[in-house]
Amino acid sequence: SPDVEKTGWPTTSQDGIAAQIAAMTPDQRDRLVEQYPRQVGNTDGVPWPMRVAANRINIAAALLAESGRDTGSRRRIALYRDLLGEIDDPARSGARIRRQILAFDPARASLVELNGDLATARSVAVLVPGVNTTIEGSAATTATARRFVSGSRGDAAVITYLGGPFPQVHDPAAALLEAADPRDALAMAPRLVAFSEDVDRTVAPGVPVTVIGHSYGGSIVGTAEALGLTSDRTLLVAAAGSGVGVDDPSDWHNRNPDVLRFSMTAPGDFIEAVQGIPGGPHGADPDEMPGVIRLAAGDYDDGQPVAGWEAHSGMLNRPSDSWRTVLAVITGDSETLHRAVADAPQ
């Protein structure tokens, strides 16, 4: 039977791992999932159906290990049950479906989930959230992703990417200081680079991949671009910066030479106080970066402008021009994008 220890996975390229698994029989693959679920569920290069199957085992094991004696444990139990449960298909098939967990490692604060149907999606996005994101509190990020899947009637699939710990802030006044700490961005960026390579391998040819960084996630995505991220489009939403050490576009090294870059920040968003501080840790202001296409935040559907502190998360979560513009970047809806570009501050 196959033995992960003997295959040398930690030092094997993703293509090498994919080739090893392609050479196995279905029985051998099943045995690999059963015997080494932690490695199979969390290794880039492993086919995603195998990762999903392995992570069901990993989540069930994590659930059984919880005592339920304290609040934290009870929250984890509720989350793990949710992860193992069925949901209404966000792609609007009308079916109840199992969740598709591509990485699950609570010890490393890692949770990656595919929302939507990769077999029918005509565009794919990877969403990297911001400060205060935790595995236990990740339902809001998941809901954001599913709304984009539903809003596209299943044309888009959206992957939520929690590739490690995010800064945790309990005092809003400290948010700017915490958001300015680059350590978590520097730690997560190389993992995002590796995962983007796996996405590129997995997604069908001709299906565009958009990597979206929101708030602190914008710095993670920008830093990953400096390290060789692969994407067709990069979108920084209310981003803390263009990336750690990214002062001008030549600091980015996307593996796709034709990548399109977009940025959108609402007027009066508190993140503006962090963006592009001279000598700041998160690099240049993405809204001022040459070659980055600036997008207008526009209005909420109730007629109010998308502006102020509330817009920091509102632009992704409330019915609005900004929400439709993000979806337009993912799906390549040029009419909506042209309007958002025309209305953007120059």
Report pLDDT digits (tens) over 79-125.
999 999 999 999 999 999 999 999 999 999 999 999 999 999 999 99
Across 98-110, b (16+ Cβ under 10 Å) vs e yields ebbbbbbbbeebb
Please state, in angstroms and rounded to a whole number, the distance separating the CA atoms of residues 46 and 80: 23
Please state, in angstroms and rounded to a whole number, the distance separating the CA atoms of residues 211 and 230: 9
Average pLDDT of the chain is 94
The predicted model gives 264-291 an average pLDDT of 89
Tell me how long the chain is: 346
Q: Nearest CA to 318 among 331, 305, 301, 333?
A: 301
The predicted model gives 186-206 an average pLDDT of 98
The predicted model gives 23-49 an average pLDDT of 97
pLDDT at residue 134 above 90? Answer: yes
pLDDT the model gives residue 170: 74
What is the phi/psi pair of residue 236, to 5°?
-100, 115
Going from N- to C-terminal start, the domains of the chain cover 1-84, 100-342
pLDDT the model gives residue 194: 98
Residue 277 structure tokens: 């501080």
Residues 6 or more apart whose Cβ sits within 8 Å of residue 162? 109, 110, 111, 112, 129, 133, 135, 138, 141
pLDDT at residue 278 above 80? Answer: no
Using CA atoms, how far residue 128 sits from 290, 293, 339, in Å, is 23, 19, 25
Report pLDDT digits (tens) over 207-264.
Answer: 999 999 999 999 999 999 999 999 999 999 999 899 999 999 999 999 999 999 999 9
pLDDT the model gives residue 179: 66
The answer to whether 96 and 87 have CB atoms below 8 angstroms apart is yes
pLDDT above 70 covers a percentage of the chain that reads 95
The band of 5, judged by pLDDT with boundaries at 50, 70 and 90, is: low
- Residue position matching structure tokens 């948010």: 175
Beta bridge partners of 237: 214, 264
The predicted model gives 140-168 an average pLDDT of 97
The predicted model gives 279-292 an average pLDDT of 91
How many CA atoms are closer than 13 Å to the CA of 278, on its beta-carbon side? 0
Using CA atoms, how far residue 148 sits from 18, 83, 262, 329, in Å, is 30, 20, 17, 11
The band of 279, judged by pLDDT with boundaries at 50, 70 and 90, is: confident
The answer to whether 115 and 127 have CB atoms below 8 angstroms apart is no
pLDDT the model gives residue 241: 92
Q: Where are the alpha helices (DSSP H) in 92-138?
A: none
pLDDT the model gives residue 8: 78
pLDDT at residue 3 above 70? Answer: no
Beta bridge partners of 125: 158, 210
Please state, in angstroms and rounded to a whole number, the distance separating the CA atoms of residues 148 and 43: 27
CATH 3.30.1330.30 fits 100-342, yes or no: no
Please state, in angstroms and rounded to a whole number, the distance separating the CA atoms of residues 31 and 27: 6
pLDDT the model gives residue 231: 99
pLDDT the model gives residue 277: 80
